[in-house]
Amino acid sequence: MRTICCLTLLLFTACDDTESATQDDAAAMIEPDAAPPQPDATPPEPDAALEDPLLEVSGIEPAIDHDPTPGVVEFHLRAARKHILIARDMAYEGYAYNDQMPGPLLQARIGDEIVVHFTNDLPEPTTIHWHGLRVPNDMDGNPRIQTPVQPGETFTYRFIARDAGTYWYHPHVRTNEQLEKGLYGPIVIQRAEEPEYDLERVLVLDDILWDEDGLPPFLASMPERMHGRFGNVMLTNGRAEAIPGTAKQGQVELWRIMNTANARTMSLEIDGASFRVVGTDGGPLSEPYETDQLLVPVGQRYNVEIRYDEPGTVSLQSLLPRRNAVGQIEFVPFTMFEVEVEETGDSMREVPFVAGEPLPFRRTNTEAELVFDAVNGPNGLEWQLNGQTMPEDPLFTFQEGDTVRFTLVNKQAPEHPFHLHGQFMTITPDGRAATEQPGLKDTVLVPGRSTVEVTAYMDNPGRWMAHCHILEHAALGMMAEFVVEDAD
Ligand code: C2O
Ligand code: CU
């Protein structure tokens, strides 16, 4: 039984015991914030002047591009143990890329070649997966294809940035542990022409299960095996302490929001400003849309345009479920990030929208069904796809160019954010506002005991993973593969 009730930073506390914590319980909540913007550490390089500078993105320090050649970005990433501070008096022994948690922001332009020289200084093997980017099959970090990088060894990842948008990277070996320990970072791929916002921010949202001894053991509790590992501390850009941002009335910003938690779907609201969604997992939308709430399952990203019409406080709230005094679940808004908007009396600056390529209509030419279920196996709870725990052989074979009507059937109560590697999909609208989510996705939420239909575009040949992004579900079997056969 674990309680963390006496921290000085607590906004409010639900003295929870993690043994009986469920998806519906949120424990101690600490006012988080975003890390302050970091100065650009890139030294001036002669050839770089030939290109327009990359967008300045606030929130996470960028990695240095070591290759001045236009069209090539070259990064060094090193994974190693790290004593990680998430607040003034809260730390744990974790892992980090380049001693940063989250890892450095990787930035490139569409069409660039991205080269990442990776060094594994962890005490265990690992790989890097470029979540959402359509990379060549052998660069995807799938440990069944790429022999994991052993401790002390290096590997060079090399691929072309085919798609603009907000992406992220993380390991794909013992992912539920390595990611929770701190191995994840954002990627921003920009188009030749981007809207000129007053500021772009990256907001990496996470939660972490923390106590004074650090990170409690993994997969040790029934709720963790059942619902995934829910944290008791909310993190924004790796921090659990508030450092508000600043802005001016009349300004327009882009927030690149991503959920890198192991399991927690975030229900987000933005108070104090008007906003609209301009991009999703697969990049810029052809038409922006407005919404009151963003439901962001783990793995997904949203690009949101924020308009500071009024002075005052603008906040990004996550609605956290909590048990009230009489045992009912209620949702409590919790501030993940906050901006103080200074009064200027200025009217709103107009930032012309730069539309993404509309998705060409494609008739589905094949169908597939994926059933999400659980069984009690010899070692306890197992999560299954189409009746198999961690199937060895690919579940499906498609042809390059196939447009697949995928029916995702969830037989049990826990939800599953379903992630496809190497390809995009769209959610087929079903008329319910909650599932009305335009744009390309690489991760789609399949709520408990329900069916979701998606259209998947099999345009990238190879043998790819398809799994639940609740990392504990994936670790306990909900991890499969499919093949896309080369057209020639
Ligand atoms: Cu972000 Cu296979 O994962
Ligand atoms: Cu799942």
Say what the pLDDT of residue 53 is. Answer: 78
The ligand placed nearest to the CA atom of residue 144 is 1
**Angstrom distance (rounded) from CA 228 to CA 23:** 8
- Closest ligand 1 atom, residue 299 Cα: 1
Q: Counting beta carbons within 10 angstroms of the beta carbon of residue 350, is it exposed (0 to 12), middle (13 to 18) or buried (19 or more)?
A: exposed
Please identify, by atom number, the ligand 1 atom nearest to the C-alpha of residue 172. Answer: 2
Q: Is 48 helix (H, G, I), strand (E, B) or coil?
A: helix
The predicted pLDDT at position 438 comes to 87
Q: Is 61 within 8 Å of 102 (Cβ atoms)? A: no
* Helix or strand holding residue 177 (H, E): helix 175-180
Q: How far is the CA of 469 from the centre of ligand 1 (A)?
A: 6
User: Can you give the pLDDT at residue 44?
Assistant: 46
Query: Does the pTM exceed 0.85?
Result: yes
Amino acid at 46: P
User: Could you say which ligand is closest to the alpha carbon of residue 417?
Assistant: 2
Q: What stretches in the chain show pLDDT beneath 50?
A: 1-41, 43-49, 433
Ligand nearest to the CA of 183: 1
Q: Is 225 helix (H, G, I), strand (E, B) or coil?
A: helix
Q: What is the pLDDT of residue 50?
A: 52
CA gap 401, 355 in Å, rounded: 24
The protein residue whose alpha carbon is closest to atom 1 in ligand 1 is 131
Percent of the chain with pLDDT over 90: 82
428 CA from centroid of ligand 1 (Å): 22
Q: Which ligand 1 atom sits nearest the alpha carbon of residue 131?
A: 1
The CA 375 to ligand 2 mean position distance, Å, reads 13
